[in-house]
Amino acid sequence: MPSFTAHSSVSQPDLDSFSKHLKSSKRILALCGAGLSASSGLPTFRGAGGYWRTYDATQLATSEAFMEDPSLVWQFYNYRRHMALQAKPNRAHFALAELARRNPDFLTISQNVDGLSPRAHHPAETLELLHGSLYDVKCTNFHCDYVEQNNFTDPIVPALEIPQNTGADLDISDAEVPLKDISTGDLPHCPKCKTALLRPGVVWFGEPLPVKTVSRIDDWTSQHIDLILVIGTSAIVYPAAGYIATARKMGARVAVVNMERPDSGASKLNAGDWFFQGDARVVVPQILEAVTGNIEEPR
């Protein structure tokens, strides 16, 4: 019977063999998804919690939904901007940031748009935000190039303020709570062309990913890779999920951290992979400790 370390289902033999490989690894890639931020209180996309009111979150995260009902989609994104600003990075975000400081050849690809890795002081030059950021906005007019980064104004325009009851935000993710009827004129508009709506600077299905980000990842993954950490992602969205196969091809051993064993998708386990089942907030600092040292619970 394998022995298990306290407070997690990580077995000591797995932890030992992983730590040995981690310590000898020079080029390390991490692919992160919504499960990394789940313990910070932010919902994932798929499974329980993947609904906002009665809407499947992946259906709201589309240009079709935005064109059909920009007020609804802006309320969804303004709510997520607000919630992510209230949330705090967890120990897994801090552990990855520390690994980046300790290992000069480490690249983290995050599919998350919540800003928690930057807020955990993850070194910017080692972090690629593949699906953009909730705090970037851009003009919807094809002929206008207006883009604004790090817009943390909450609410982004007064009309989108989340209604309150006796000083507390109403939970507008609950379909029982009525949504405001906001006219298009009161939604965020482009200050440059002064005609078109602004939209969140995130990547929706069918849209190209940021060119600089993809080419940096392509460059980085064109050399030998020792290890890929696949953390809290269902690994079904491409091109992100494809980086696991790319890393394998470049020699990487694979370590998956997830609440659930991946039985399908790009993170399906192969012989020789590590699978660490559990909450990323607990498991990630534990498995990286051999290099990062102990990561304190943030206050």
Residues with a known catalytic role: 131
The one among 158, 167, 206, 272 contacting ligand BJW by CB under 6 A: 206
34 binds ligand BJW (CB under 6 A): yes
232 binds ligand BJW (CB under 6 A): yes
DSSP track, 76-97: HHHHHHHHHHHS---HHHHHHH
Closest CA to 226 of 12, 26, 23, 9: 26
Q: How far apart are CA 148 and CA 85, in angstroms?
A: 18
Give me the half-sphere count of Cα atoms (radius 13 Å) on the Cβ side of residue 255: 25
61 binds ligand BJW (CB under 6 A): yes
280 binds ligand BJW (CB under 6 A): yes
The one among 72, 157, 182, 259 contacting ligand BJW by CB under 6 A: 259
Nearest residue to ligand BJW, by Cβ distance, number only: 35
Q: How far is the CB of 258 from ligand BJW (least distance, A)?
A: 5
The secondary structure of residue 11, as a DSSP letter, is B
Degrees to nearest 5, angle at CA 130 with 124 and 136: 75
H helices of the chain, where?
Answer: 12-24, 35-38, 57-60, 63-68, 70-86, 91-102, 116-119, 211-220, 242-249, 280-292
Q: How far apart are CA 84 and CA 200, in angstroms?
A: 14
39 binds ligand BJW (CB under 6 A): yes
Q: Which stretch binds ligand BJW (CB under 6 A): 30-38, 148-156, 167-175, 243-251?
A: 30-38
236 binds ligand BJW (CB under 6 A): yes
205 binds ligand BJW (CB under 6 A): yes
Residues making contact with ligand BJW (CB under 6 A) = 33-35, 38-39, 44-46, 58, 61, 111, 113, 131, 202-208, 232-234, 236-239, 257-260, 279-280
